Amino acid sequence: MISKVKSQYDLIAEDWDKFSGENGSIHQKNDIDPVVFKMLGDVKGKTLLEIGCGNGYLGRLLSQKGAIVTSTDISSKLIKLAQKKSLSVKQRIVFLTQDAQKMTDLKDHSFDFVLANMCVMDIPNIEAVFSEVKRVLKMRVYSFFHLTIPLFIILVNPGYIIGVAAGSILLE
């Protein structure tokens, strides 16, 4: 199942990169990012892990706000495209191809925040993801998972209204 997810995202990597663009699609800019930024607050100097980063636009924006960002994704193609798009901030962002169910390259208790936008719906073993998130988080901080996906932007004409479900989960 997971290798199928990986190969499918590898297959659509260039299209997803075009969809997200440099700084996120209209949906991401208008509906998702303001909520994420509000929830995260001041990220200056904070270590932040993004799971399922896609083309990495959000990590770039957060890096520009002063966060120390690690961007991960299961698709090595998307990670390559994210790196290419992030040349100006590349030295400040660590990019890794990692399955969120087993993030072998990440150390225990090394992040202030973990962010996962529109990606947990693709992951079969969600318990494994939460266990890994708990492992890599520092104490007394929260993770933020966001579940909506703009499928109808791709499938339906513009003129849509999207609802945003956002929440924070205290892992302790």
Ligand X SMILES: C[S@@+](CC[C@H](N)C(=O)[O-])C[C@H]1O[C@@H](n2cnc3c(N)ncnc32)[C@H](O)[C@@H]1O
**Binding residue for ligand X, selected from 49, 61, 78, 136, defined by CB under 6 A:** 78
- Given a contact cutoff of 8 angstroms between Cβ atoms, the answer to whether 53 and 78 are in contact is yes
101 near ligand X, judged by CB under 6 A = yes
- Give me the amino acid identity at 55: N
Of residues 43 and 118, the one with the C-beta less far from ligand X:
118
**Binding residue for ligand X, selected from 149, 153, 162, 171, defined by CB under 6 A:** 149
The DSSP 8-state label assigned to residue 32 in this structure reads I
47 near ligand X, judged by CB under 6 A = no
Q: In degrees rounded to 5, what are phi and psi of residue 50?
A: -110, 125
Nearest to 136 by CA among 166, 167, 115, 119: 115
Query: Which residues, 120 to 139, sit near ligand X by CB under 6 A?
Result: 122-123
Q: How far is the CB of 125 from ligand X (least distance, A)?
A: 9
**Residue 11: Cβ within 10 Å count:** 12
Binding positions for ligand X, rule: CB under 6 A = 2, 5, 9, 20, 51-54, 73-75, 78, 99-101, 117-119, 122-123, 149
